[in-house]
Chain A
Amino acid sequence: GESVGLHLPTLSVQEGDNSIINCAYSNSASDYFIWYKQESGKGPQFIIDIRSNMDKRQGQRVTVLLNKTVKHLSLQIAATQPGDSAVYFCAENDAANTDKLIFGTGTRLQVFP
């Protein structure tokens, strides 16, 4: 079946550095993607989304890049802070049923001083 996956299960960065979290997706028909942040013991929080007619979208300190040619999604966090430490999930809409999302397994971001 189609799936969403991540290249790196754990990413450690120094406070103040930029972080890049990657995600590969396999369904070329997916046209909507979301990044979620999940802190320990809490529910996922929406960070940013992007539609397939865009290559890049920016939010506050975060940027999502979409490369449809290689089916790759990335989340860039500028000036990473200790509060950014969490697990980050990418998700894609299920093209066969747009009410459903397919989630990746997540990448843990650890920020050290």
Chain B
Amino acid sequence: DGGITQSPKYLFRKEGQNVTLSCEQNLNHDAMYWYRQDPGQGLRLIYYSQIVNDFQKGDIAEGYSVSREKKESFPLTVTSAQKNPTAFYLCASRLRTGIYNEQFFGPGTRLTVL
């Protein structure tokens, strides 16, 4: 089945630790995205990548880092510099051939800082 996978589903982190969230897609999509969702709020863009080996900051990039070494993979690292990392993290991908293409989302990773 084609789709987007995120792992782990739940992640617990101690303060001061870096953690990496995985996002993999087999849809052959060019663009990939990371969003953060807090309770009762909408999605806020952290980082996005339009092609391999390139990525841009979104609206709330501070305290996060990404890499895009392969088309299928777009891991997100939540660093110790992120002061309030507890949230639901969503990865998405999109085919870039044409303007009007929706983003497809993964199942999400819930990160809790202990």
Contact = CB atoms under 8 A, between A and B. Distances in A.
Given A99-B48, A104-B42, A105-B41, A43 B90 contact: yes
Contacts of A99: 31, 48, 50, 94, 96
Nearest to A34: B102
A42 interface: yes
A112 interface: no
Interface string A83-113: 0000001000100001111011110000000
Interface stretch (A14-22, A44-52, A62-70): A44-52
Contact of B99 (A32, A34, A89, A106): A32
Overall SS of chain A's interface: strand
B108 interface: yes
B108 A41 contact: yes
Interface residues of B, number: 25
A43 B107 contact: yes
A46 B108 contact: no
Contacts of B105: 36, 43-45
Contact of A105 (B31, B42, B45, B110): B42
B7 interface: no
Interface string B12-49: 00000000000000000001000000001111010010
B104 A46 contact: yes
Given A89-B43, A100-B45, 6 more contacts: A41-B108, A42-B107, A42-B108, A100-B58, A105-B42, A106-B41
Interface of B: 4, 6, 31, 40-43, 45, 48, 50, 58, 90, 92, 94, 96, 99-100, 102-108, 110
- Ranked nearest first, the 4 interchain pairs of A and B with the lowest CB-CB distance are A43-B105, A105-B42, A103-B43, A103-B42
11 contacts: A32-B99, A34-B103, A43-B105, A43-B106, A46-B104, A51-B100, A93-B100, A99-B94, A105-B41, A106-B40, A106-B41
Interface of A: 31-32, 34, 36, 41-46, 49, 51, 89, 93, 98-101, 103-106
